[in-house]
Structure 1
Amino acid sequence: MNQSRAMSMVEAVANVIVGYGVAVVTQILIFPVFGLHTTLAQNLKMGAVFTVVSIARSYLLRRLFERIRVANRSGDHGGRAEPAPRRR
Protein backbone atom coordinates (compact mmCIF):
# COMPACT_ATOMS: atom_id res chain seq x y z
CA MET A 1 0.00 0.00 0.00
CA ASN A 2 1.43 3.36 -1.03
CA GLN A 3 0.62 6.70 0.53
CA SER A 4 -0.04 9.65 -1.78
CA ARG A 5 2.00 12.82 -1.41
CA ALA A 6 -1.11 14.69 -0.32
CA MET A 7 -1.82 12.18 2.45
CA SER A 8 1.84 12.28 3.49
CA MET A 9 1.47 16.04 3.91
CA VAL A 10 -1.77 15.63 5.87
CA GLU A 11 -0.05 13.11 8.14
CA ALA A 12 2.97 15.37 8.66
CA VAL A 13 0.81 18.40 9.51
CA ALA A 14 -1.38 16.34 11.87
CA ASN A 15 1.76 15.00 13.56
CA VAL A 16 3.08 18.54 14.13
CA ILE A 17 -0.25 19.82 15.47
CA VAL A 18 -0.69 16.88 17.83
CA GLY A 19 2.95 17.13 18.96
CA TYR A 20 2.54 20.84 19.71
CA GLY A 21 -0.59 20.16 21.76
CA VAL A 22 1.09 17.33 23.66
CA ALA A 23 4.10 19.54 24.42
CA VAL A 24 1.98 22.39 25.76
CA VAL A 25 -0.29 20.18 27.87
CA THR A 26 2.73 18.28 29.25
CA GLN A 27 4.41 21.55 30.22
CA ILE A 28 1.24 22.81 31.95
CA LEU A 29 1.00 19.56 33.94
CA ILE A 30 4.68 18.87 34.68
CA PHE A 31 6.30 22.28 35.21
CA PRO A 32 4.50 22.95 38.53
CA VAL A 33 5.74 19.59 39.85
CA PHE A 34 9.28 20.99 39.51
CA GLY A 35 8.36 24.38 40.94
CA LEU A 36 8.27 26.11 37.54
CA HIS A 37 5.35 28.48 37.12
CA THR A 38 4.71 29.82 33.64
CA THR A 39 1.88 31.64 31.92
CA LEU A 40 -0.15 30.09 29.13
CA ALA A 41 1.56 32.44 26.67
CA GLN A 42 5.00 31.23 27.84
CA ASN A 43 3.89 27.60 27.51
CA LEU A 44 2.62 28.24 23.98
CA LYS A 45 5.92 29.89 22.99
CA MET A 46 8.02 27.08 24.49
CA GLY A 47 5.79 24.52 22.78
CA ALA A 48 6.47 26.28 19.47
CA VAL A 49 10.24 26.15 20.05
CA PHE A 50 10.09 22.45 20.95
CA THR A 51 8.00 21.81 17.85
CA VAL A 52 10.51 23.53 15.54
CA VAL A 53 13.38 21.57 17.14
CA SER A 54 11.42 18.33 16.75
CA ILE A 55 10.72 18.99 13.06
CA ALA A 56 14.40 19.75 12.43
CA ARG A 57 15.47 16.59 14.29
CA SER A 58 13.01 14.44 12.39
CA TYR A 59 14.07 15.87 9.03
CA LEU A 60 17.79 15.42 9.71
CA LEU A 61 17.31 11.83 10.88
CA ARG A 62 15.22 11.04 7.79
CA ARG A 63 17.92 12.43 5.51
CA LEU A 64 20.64 10.50 7.41
CA PHE A 65 18.76 7.21 7.11
CA GLU A 66 18.02 7.88 3.45
CA ARG A 67 21.74 8.45 2.85
CA ILE A 68 22.52 5.17 4.63
CA ARG A 69 19.87 3.36 2.56
CA VAL A 70 21.22 4.72 -0.73
CA ALA A 71 24.82 3.91 0.27
CA ASN A 72 23.85 0.33 1.13
CA ARG A 73 22.07 -0.13 -2.18
CA SER A 74 24.98 1.23 -4.20
CA GLY A 75 27.47 -1.09 -2.53
CA ASP A 76 29.28 1.73 -0.71
CA HIS A 77 29.77 0.44 2.81
CA GLY A 78 31.96 3.27 4.06
CA GLY A 79 35.17 1.26 3.92
CA ARG A 80 33.68 -1.72 5.73
CA ALA A 81 33.55 -5.19 4.29
CA GLU A 82 30.44 -6.06 2.35
CA PRO A 83 27.95 -7.98 4.47
CA ALA A 84 27.60 -11.70 3.95
CA PRO A 85 24.78 -12.74 1.61
CA ARG A 86 21.53 -13.80 3.27
CA ARG A 87 20.76 -17.49 3.53
CA ARG A 88 17.49 -18.68 2.04
Structure 2
Amino acid sequence: MPQTRRHSALEAIANVAIGYGIAVATQAAVFPLFGLHASAGQHLAIGLIFTAVSLARSYALRRLFNRIR
Protein backbone atom coordinates (compact mmCIF):
# COMPACT_ATOMS: atom_id res chain seq x y z
CA MET A 1 0.00 0.00 0.00
CA PRO A 2 1.49 3.39 -0.96
CA GLN A 3 2.25 5.94 1.71
CA THR A 4 -0.25 8.80 2.07
CA ARG A 5 0.91 12.39 1.60
CA ARG A 6 0.19 13.09 5.25
CA HIS A 7 2.30 10.14 6.36
CA SER A 8 5.11 11.22 4.01
CA ALA A 9 5.01 14.72 5.48
CA LEU A 10 5.08 13.42 9.05
CA GLU A 11 8.00 11.15 8.20
CA ALA A 12 9.92 14.02 6.61
CA ILE A 13 9.29 16.31 9.60
CA ALA A 14 10.41 13.61 12.04
CA ASN A 15 13.52 12.94 9.96
CA VAL A 16 14.50 16.63 9.90
CA ALA A 17 13.79 17.16 13.61
CA ILE A 18 15.80 14.12 14.66
CA GLY A 19 18.64 15.03 12.29
CA TYR A 20 18.74 18.57 13.69
CA GLY A 21 18.94 17.27 17.26
CA ILE A 22 21.72 14.84 16.34
CA ALA A 23 23.64 17.57 14.50
CA VAL A 24 23.50 19.98 17.46
CA ALA A 25 24.49 17.27 19.95
CA THR A 26 27.35 16.13 17.71
CA GLN A 27 28.65 19.70 17.36
CA ALA A 28 28.55 20.19 21.13
CA ALA A 29 30.55 16.99 21.61
CA VAL A 30 33.03 17.38 18.72
CA PHE A 31 33.80 21.10 18.63
CA PRO A 32 35.76 21.08 21.91
CA LEU A 33 37.94 18.24 20.58
CA PHE A 34 39.19 20.71 17.96
CA GLY A 35 39.51 23.63 20.37
CA LEU A 36 36.31 25.28 19.13
CA HIS A 37 33.93 26.70 21.68
CA ALA A 38 30.40 27.82 20.85
CA SER A 39 27.45 28.86 22.95
CA ALA A 40 24.22 26.86 22.93
CA GLY A 41 22.67 29.52 20.69
CA GLN A 42 25.55 29.28 18.23
CA HIS A 43 25.22 25.49 18.13
CA LEU A 44 21.50 25.84 17.40
CA ALA A 45 22.16 28.38 14.61
CA ILE A 46 24.92 26.30 13.01
CA GLY A 47 22.69 23.23 13.15
CA LEU A 48 19.88 25.17 11.51
CA ILE A 49 22.14 26.28 8.65
CA PHE A 50 23.34 22.73 8.00
CA THR A 51 19.77 21.45 8.22
CA ALA A 52 18.65 23.96 5.57
CA VAL A 53 21.52 22.91 3.29
CA SER A 54 20.63 19.25 3.84
CA LEU A 55 16.97 19.87 2.99
CA ALA A 56 17.91 21.67 -0.23
CA ARG A 57 20.30 18.86 -1.21
CA SER A 58 17.71 16.19 -0.46
CA TYR A 59 15.03 17.99 -2.45
CA ALA A 60 17.33 18.53 -5.45
CA LEU A 61 18.39 14.88 -5.50
CA ARG A 62 14.79 13.67 -5.18
CA ARG A 63 13.74 15.84 -8.15
CA LEU A 64 16.76 14.66 -10.18
CA PHE A 65 16.01 10.99 -9.55
CA ASN A 66 12.32 11.53 -10.35
CA ARG A 67 13.33 13.12 -13.66
CA ILE A 68 15.68 10.23 -14.46
CA ARG A 69 12.98 7.69 -13.66
TM-score (structure 2 length as normaliser):
0.97
In structure 1, how many angstroms separate the alpha carbons of the residues matched to 2:19 and 2:49? 12
- Any idea what the Cα deviations from partners look like across 1:53-82, whole Å, max 9, x if unmatched? 00000000000111111xxxxxxxxxxxxx
User: d(CA) in 1 for partners of 2:56 and 2:19?
Assistant: 13
Any unmatched runs of 5+ in structure 2?
A: none
The equivalent of 2:55 in structure 1 is 55
Number of aligned positions between the proteins: 69
Match status 1:8 vs 2:8: yes
Report the Cα distance in structure 1 between the residues aligned to 2:28 and 2:55, rounded to whole angstroms: 21
The structure whose RCO (Cα within 8 Å, separation 6+) is larger is 2
- Give the counterpart letter for 2:66 in structure 1: E
Whole-angstrom distance in 2 between the partners of 1:61 and 1:26: 25
Q: After the TM superposition, which parts of structure 1 deviate over 2 Å for at least 4 consecutive aligned residues? A: none
Percent of aligned pairs sharing the same letter: 59
After superposition, the CA RMSD in angstroms is: 0.5
Q: Which runs of 5+ in 1 are unaligned?
A: 70-88
| One-letter identity of the residue aligned with 1:38 | A
In 2: Cα distance, 1:16 partner to 1:6 partner: 15
- 2:17 aligns with 17
